Amino acid sequence: MKGRSGVLALVGVVLAGCGAGSGPAADDISPPGYARKPGVPLVKSEADIPELPFARYEFSGEDVERREKARNLLQRQCMRSFGFEDFPLDPDTFVRMADAYESTLTFVSPYGTLDLDRARRWGYGFDPDLAEKQEAAFRPKGRKVTGRERQVLEGPEAGEGGRSVVNGRKIPKGGCSAKAERRLEAAVADPTRMGEDVSRRTAEIDEAVAKDGRVRRAFRDWSRCVEGRGFKRYASPARAFTDKAWRKGLGDGSTHRTERELGTAVADVECNRGLNVTGVWWAVTAEKQRADLRRDRSRYEAVRKDQDRVRAAVREVLGEAG
Question: What's the confidence (pLDDT) of residue 261?
Answer: 97
List 169's β-bridge partners, or say none: 166
Question: What's the confidence (pLDDT) of residue 16?
Answer: 28
Question: What's the confidence (pLDDT) of residue 109?
Answer: 67
Sign of CA dihedral 264, 269, 271, 272: positive
Question: What's the confidence (pLDDT) of residue 292?
Answer: 98
Question: What's the confidence (pLDDT) of residue 26?
Answer: 54
- The C-alpha torsion from 123 through 129 and 135 to 139, rounded to 10°, is 170
pLDDT at 12 over 70: no
pLDDT at 72 over 70: yes
Question: What's the confidence (pLDDT) of residue 164?
Answer: 85
**Angle at CA of residue 112, ends 283 and 108, nearest 5°:** 110
Question: What's the confidence (pLDDT) of residue 311?
Answer: 98
d(CA 66, CA 314): 7
d(CA 34, CA 22): 25
d(CA 89, CA 95): 17
pTM of the model: 0.82
Confidence of residue 6 (pLDDT cuts 50, 70, 90): very low
Q: What tens digit of pLDDT does each residue of 178-217 get?
A: 999 999 999 999 999 999 999 999 999 999 999 999 999 9
- Residue type for 318, please? L
Three-state secondary structure of the chain: CCCHHHHHHHHHHHHCCCCCCCCCCHHHCCCCHHHCCCCCCCCCCHHHCCCCHHHHHCCCHHHHHHHHHHHHHHHHHHHHHCCCCCCCCCCECCHHHHHHHHHHHHCCCCCCCCCHHHHHHHCCCCCHHHHHHHHHHHCCCCCECCHHHHHHHHCCCCCCCCCCEECCEECCCCHHHHHHHHHHCCCCCCHHHHHHHHHHHHHHHHHHHHHCHHHHHHHHHHHHHHHHCCCCCCCCHHHHHCCHHHHCCCCCCCCCCCHHHHHHHHHHHHHHHHHCHHHHHHHHHHHHHHHHHHHCHHHHHHHHHHHHHHHHHHHHHCCCCC
Question: What's the confidence (pLDDT) of residue 133?
Answer: 87
Quote the mean pLDDT of the chain.
86
β-pairing verdict for 169-170 and 165-166: antiparallel
What share of the chain in percent tops pLDDT 70? 84
Question: What's the confidence (pLDDT) of residue 29?
Answer: 87
Question: What's the confidence (pLDDT) of residue 321?
Answer: 59
* Residue 203: partners with Cβ closer than 8 Å, 6 or more residues away: none
